[in-house]
């Protein structure tokens, strides 16, 4: 394993696009926004990669492992397992208590379970039909959104740095429904989708969001009971049931 440099980014961009279908422009935006803060692990031949983004969970330093990818022609060689083990050792030495990830497919829960990851994060999904609402909605900065998440997200939720929230803001606005919650929304094929909706009254919040966005239906992800993300303790710190949130899958 090696720590990737900027010279490796063209090859890693191609690998990422092949495995996940994101456009080179989207991937380049990620590099430009996050490069000073992330650690990118790769095999020497750049056939496999994993990106560690800094987050906090349960008051401790953690790493969100993102864009974990292996060249399709090289799968089955154990590259990912070895890369992940090396990355975890590096993160452990850097003082991280947890490695966190969101499997891109349900079948990968079993794959990562073989690496001692455990399901720790849960969510729910719903499609809200907007109604009449007189509630105000306003866009907010990443710093303000982070504060709102601390107020409205469940206890022990993963906390994202402003840089990651800025990355989310590039795809759609971060919104506050004053006194009622917050949401991160982005354009979708037939309107908008809420990547995250945090509110003690989701229907009223969705009514306000639909009125603000000019849409009738709003698919949304919220805290709930459905398995969504996994975690591994790197230093013996306990795992607990929690909410991952935006989840940069």
Instruction: Indicate if 123-224 has the same CATH topology as 2-101.
Output: yes
Q: Could you tell me the pLDDT band of residue 248, with boundaries at 50, 70 and 90?
A: low
Split at pLDDT 50, 70, 90, the class of 105 is confident
Task: Answer yes or no: are the C-beta atoms of 53 and 64 closer than 8 Å.
Answer: yes
Per-residue pLDDT at 190:
85
pTM assigned to the model: 0.92
Which tens digit of pLDDT belongs to each residue from 200-220? 999 999 999 999 999 999 999
Domain spanning 123-224: CATH 3.40.630.30: yes
* Domain segments of the chain as ranges: 2-101, 123-224
Q: Strands, DSSP E only, in the chain?
A: 2-3, 39-42, 48-57, 60-70, 98-101, 118-129, 138-139, 174-177, 181-188, 191-198, 217-233
> For 16-74, what is each residue's pLDDT tens digit?
999 999 999 999 999 998 998 999 999 999 999 999 999 999 999 999 999 999 999 99
Class of domain 2-101: alpha beta
In this predicted structure, the answer to whether residue 249 has a pLDDT above a threshold of 60 is no
């Amino acid at each position: 394993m090696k720590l990737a440099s900027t010279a490796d980014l063209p090859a890693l961009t191609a690998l990422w696009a092949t495995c996940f279908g994101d456009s080179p422009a989207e991937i380049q935006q990620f590099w430009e926004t996050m490069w000073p803060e992330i650690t990118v692990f790769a095999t020497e031949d750049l056939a496999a990669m994993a990106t560690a983004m800094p987050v906090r969970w349960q008051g401790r330093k953690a790493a969100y492992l993102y864009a974990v990818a292996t060249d399709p022609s090289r799968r089955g060689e154990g590259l990912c397992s070895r890369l992940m083990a090396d990355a975890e050792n590096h993160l452990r030495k850097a003082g991280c208590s947890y490695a966190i990830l969101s499997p891109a497919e349900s079948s990968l829960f079993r794959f990562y379970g073989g690496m001692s990851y455990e399901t720790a994060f849960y969510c729910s999904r719903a499609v809200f039909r907007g109604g009449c609402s007189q509630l105000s909605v306003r866009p907010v900065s990443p710093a303000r959104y982070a504060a709102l998440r601390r107020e409205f997200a469940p206890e022990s939720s993963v906390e994202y740095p402003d840089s990651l929230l800025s990355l989310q803001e590039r795809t759609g606005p971060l919104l506050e429904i004053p006194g009622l919650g917050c949401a991160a929304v982005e354009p979708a094929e037939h309107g908008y989708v809420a990547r995250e909706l945090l509110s003690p009254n989701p229907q009223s919040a969705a009514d306000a969001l639909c009125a603000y966005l000019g849409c009738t239906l709003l698919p949304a992800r919220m805290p709930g009971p459905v398995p969504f993300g996994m975690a591994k303790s790197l230093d013996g710190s306990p795992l607990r049931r929690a909410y991952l949130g935006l989840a940069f899958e």
